Structure 1
């Protein structure tokens, strides 16, 4: 493989992605707004810390693992590029903004793919993400060898913005399912049922999901309480999904309820809390005035 790759953003997701690319010998540069994140990643000597034009000059493919598409525009503003360079937007973002960014980057000489991801930090560490890609099929084919180093499955959804649209739908369903599972298992707990056995029943029946099969056993029931993402991230995801649904004139009552619960969690000081704690906090977050007297 001769393609040189750079990664912008070395947080929970970006660090695992970059390490896998480094192990494969294709990572040449990486950056983060906090330079200590680069040092903590402990890359090989082939990887340099670069930003802006210096990073662009070294890479054929630039993977952006930052909070949103807005940060990509800021990071690359004023840069120039050769016609073979491809920007891969791995964020969760508004599809309309993705389309605008694609046009802005095209004017600078970049190609652009929105490649929203799922699999969490554990999936990033293992190189086992699932990617939802929007954009030019030829550009996607050109970088598939690199994407195969970080993902088990890559789905091409259509034109630019399609990947980010699918991610908003995915996250609305996932986070709503998480809270529904929290609600059901809190009820099971009130009924005196053993939570481990209750989860086993879910997983043997039709209510099983990633939440019951992985999230609860791995991150909650064993007391770890470490889903490696915070409540504010989920709240952001649902807020974006609600805005997207409004633009589509779609009715999403379950998504709206999930968004309201997450917003309440953030407003009551839990934004920086690992979201696994939403399970023990669930009744507190959904109780109505006067509910305390009924408990």
Structure 2
């Protein structure tokens, strides 16, 4: 006897109800996020930037390709941006062949780490064009992006977040609603301030330890397993102790960008933030000395070198 068609019909009905998604920004994080979307049945259109490898892989999985942001907007109900920051977001929206050129209503989800002041203003401007903005910056790493286990801080109206949530759940294990548009990006900057602050403190403490004759191994033997220990510490020290450059894949140029956004936010709030300024200056030193594309734990080497010493001595002799 032939099986009833209801289960397949229900699946097809569910598939047809899914909104069409456009995705721009197929870097270390975005490629994994986009792969989760297409593998979980979301109709996906992607766009190439500098490299085609991620686009070609996604097309093999069933994604379509658009040549411009305008073409993507015309093909989509929802567009996700996962780029570096506010400048890139604004260019994709308002630049030549930008999203606005499509002149159609959209839900725009900005997963970049952007300047909250710009995000708030942009949300107001886009609303007049029929575009709803949700800022949904990310926490965790490319590994979790590929596994669909990212953390997301989502800012926007309750209605917009409710619409975005099923899409975000394709690549996120935890979604924290932070409030109106702009609050997601604000929380992301504060999250990065704490993590980059730890990085600056670890780096300076290691430098002073080395100048006083204490090795990174001795330093680690005291902090590891103590109340000062945490996942971020352990990833940072995978580089310090074992020279694992991929333990924490976040470029120092991006850290400086985020700390500059934090300074802008503090200025807009008329807040005195001396610690934020000190953290920013640590990363400014790294970028100015040519290490902007090195990952954050390499700040420890930069601060050590600035003081005429090296930390790159570990049990493997590397």
TM-score class, shorter? 0.7 to 0.9
The farther-off stretch of 99-108 and 159-168 is: 99-108
Corresponding residue for residue 81 of structure 1: 104
Distance change >3 Å, CA 181–CA 56, structure 1 → 2: same
Corresponding residue for residue 303 of structure 2: 282
Corresponding residue for residue 315 of structure 2: none
| Cα deviations by residue, 1:171-222 (Å, 9 ceiling, x for unpaired) | 1111011121223344455544562x743642422112332133323x4433
Corresponding residue for residue 161 of structure 1: 182
Alignment of 1:112-191 (within 5 A): 112-188=133-209, 191=213
Corresponding residue for residue 273 of structure 2: 252
Corresponding residue for residue 63 of structure 1: 80
**Alignment RMSD:** 2.3
Give unpaired runs (5+ residues) of structure 2. 1-13, 93-98, 310-318
For 2:38 and 2:264, locate their aligned partners in 1 and report how far apart those are by CA, in whole Å.
37
Distance change >3 Å, CA 40–CA 261, structure 1 → 2: farther
Instruction: Report the 3-state secondary structure (helix = DSSP H, G, I; strand = E; otherwise coil) of the residue aligned with 1:19.
Output: helix
| Cα deviations by residue, 1:21-55 (Å, 9 ceiling, x for unpaired) | 12212141111322525445444352122122321
Give unpaired runs (5+ residues) of structure 1. none
Residue 164 of structure 1 deviates from its aligned partner by: 0.9
Corresponding residue for residue 54 of structure 1: 71
1:243 equivalent to 2:234? Answer no
8 Å Cα contact 1:22/1:43 also seen in 2 = no
1:261 equivalent to 2:282? Answer yes
Q: How many residues align?
A: 284
1:26 equivalent to 2:42? Answer yes
Residue 199 of structure 1, aligned match among 199, 220, 223:
220
For 1:44 and 1:284, locate their aligned partners in 2 and report how far apart those are by CA, in whole Å.
46
Instruction: Report the 3-state secondary structure (helix = DSSP H, G, I; strand = E; otherwise coil) of the residue aligned with 2:46.
Output: strand
| Cα deviations by residue, 1:41-76 (Å, 9 ceiling, x for unpaired) | 444352122122321133222110012233333321
| Cα deviations by residue, 1:246-267 (Å, 9 ceiling, x for unpaired) | 1112222221111111111111
For 2:213 and 2:43, locate their aligned partners in 1 and report how far apart those are by CA, in whole Å.
53
Task: Report the TM-score when normalising by structure 2.
Answer: 0.81
8 Å Cα contact 1:28/1:58 also seen in 2 = no
Which stretches of structure 1, 4 residues or longer, exceed 6 Å deviation after superposition? none
The farther-off stretch of 55-64 and 179-188 is: 179-188
| Cα deviations by residue, 1:138-163 (Å, 9 ceiling, x for unpaired) | 11112212211211211111111111
For 2:287 and 2:256, locate their aligned partners in 1 and report how far apart those are by CA, in whole Å.
7
For 2:114 and 2:188, locate their aligned partners in 1 and report how far apart those are by CA, in whole Å.
8
Of the two, which has the highest radius of gyration?
2
1:36 equivalent to 2:62? Answer no
8 Å Cα contact 1:69/1:89 also seen in 2 = no
For 1:209 and 1:251, locate their aligned partners in 2 and report how far apart those are by CA, in whole Å.
28
The farther-off stretch of 51-60 and 261-270 is: 51-60
